A = this chain, B = another copy of it.
Amino acid sequence: MSGGLEEALRSAVGAAHVLVDADLRAAYETDWTRRFTGAARCVVRPASTAEVVAVVRACAAAGVPIVVQGGNTGLVGAGVPTGGEVLVSLARLTSVEPVDAVEAQVTVGAGVTLEKLQAHARTAGLDFGVDLAARSSATVGGMIATNAGGIRVLRHGSMRAQVTGLEAVLADGTVLTRLDGLAKDNTGYDLTQLVAGSEGTLAIVTRARLRLVPLLPERAAALVAVAGTEAALELLAAARARLATLSAAEIFYPEGLELVRAYRQLPAPFAEPAGAYVVLECAARTDPTDDILELLSDCAAVEDATVASDRAGLERLWSYREAHTEAISTAGIPTKLDVCVPLGELTALVAELPATVASVAPKARVITFGHLNEGNLHLNVLDAGEHAEDVTDAVLRLVAAHRGTISSEHGVGRAKAPWLSLSRTPEEIAAMRRIKAALDPDGILNPGVLLPA
């Protein structure tokens, strides 16, 4: 790297936090799925907003692009370098302010993990509205940049719905600060929501003001066997209509169940196999078990069901769903697609998937699971071999034909950028480019991510 930039970065964050050696950089240069990797010019670890500003200014002055990284749990290659960028890790931005119990909000640094945030909220008798399996590594900044989802979106909305304000650094080092967390504030453009979900291309999030939700101590869940997707939707409709305390509605299929059972050595959940499996969970101040039981006994779509409300039972029941990601990862390097269609299209999409995949990759397997309430399926394609790109193309086109989106939770990143036009119109993409150019005219922040180069 050029001596001038290196010196400026060391002066900004201290020599110990500018990682130039390949072995020190390595942990930052490959993503969790092992699909994306690249060599950074160096890794920089600022510990404060002022240090982030100094780093951004140094890179901008040198004309060297930046890749921003949180917990490196992203799935679309948005947080790893392609070659020669300065990788800015926000992992040291771990400030945690006291919970404001009156407003039910808290301000934390971008590098705080979801797990730490949850624990902090719970000490105040509150909870955080988003939960996902990568909670021990995923950071607040990364979750905002990708607008993370997870299993509680049904109840509390996605990550952006939790963000009442943020502090972010623009490409020229300008700091936008909006951490008041006012419940209502109609004084101009919602820059917070513009930055949320922009995948590090408009600004670097350094701190966030987050909404907290009531801690609901009583939980009850059911694992339900149904005939297939259509029956699952029937059960969902009944649950949405009758269970005011519904907090999750997940779906998975026999192929995934078999992988999970083998990986975790779990027994079959039911005596008979089923076409699909639904997990329903309710959370409330008082035990919601009776409500779930009543629903299950009334709903014709239910073929069999098991209900749990104690901690061990809940964990056992949820493990059939939550172990999917690890079980799949153990079986190979999957091509991960994360799509969402209107609920009315879900049955047809699931039915057409196998033939669509087989047409381009005859030996591939698709493991499907996801968030039933939002029509959001995680499609994990194994054994696609050299046809991985063809599978991606064919499946994303199928999804678009069913009026769906190519990314519901993971973001576009580098992985989906070539297909952006399946989900956004040319006019929308042009408007996005105008906004990108207005805030980052030299294209310093995450070039190649989200907007196709």
Alpha-carbon gap, A149 to B430, bound state (A): 31
Q: Which residues does chain B contribute within 8 Å of A197, judged by CB atoms?
A: 186, 188-190
Q: Is the CB of A373 closer than 8 A to any CB of chain B?
A: yes
Q: Is A89 at the interface (CB under 8 A from chain B)? A: no
- Residue of B whose beta carbon sits closest to that of A338: B186
Which of A22-30, A292-300, A316-324, A418-426 is the contact stretch? A418-426
B147 near A408: Cβ-Cβ < 8 Å: no
Copies of this protein in the assembly total 2
Residue of B nearest to A154 (CB): B183
B189 near A194 with CB under 8 A, answer: yes
CB of A311 within 8 Å of the partner chain: no
Chain B residue at minimum C-beta to C-beta distance from A341: B182
Q: Given contacts A103-B343, A189-B198, are A425 and B176 in contact (CB under 8 A)? A: yes
Q: Does A160 contact B (CB under 8 A)?
A: yes
Is the pair A407, B158 in contact by a Cβ cutoff of 8 Å? no
Q: Could you tell me if A424 and B187 are in contact, using CB atoms closer than 8 angstroms?
A: yes
Q: Type the 1/0 row for A409-445, where 1 means its CB is closer than 8 Å to any CB of B.
A: 1111000100010011101111110110111000000
A451 shortest CB reach to chain B, Å: 8
Q: Is the CB of B185 within 8 A of A407?
A: yes
Contacts of A137 on B, CB cut-off 8 Å?
none
Task: Known contacts A184-B158, A408-B184; decide if A435 and B438 are in contact (CB<8 Å).
Answer: yes
B340 touches A184 (CB 8 A): yes
Q: Is the CB–CB distance between A189 and B432 below 8 Å?
A: yes
Within 8 Å by CB of A342, from B182, B189, B340, B410, lies: B182
Q: Is the pair A431, B185 in contact by a Cβ cutoff of 8 Å?
A: no
Give 6 A-B pairs besides A103-B344, A153-B184, A161-B161 with Cβ atoms closer than 8 angstroms.
A102-B342, A182-B341, A187-B406, A188-B451, A431-B439, A434-B439
List of 7 A-B pairs having minimum Cβ-Cβ separation, nearest first: A183-B374, A438-B438, A184-B408, A193-B193, A187-B423, A434-B438, A185-B405
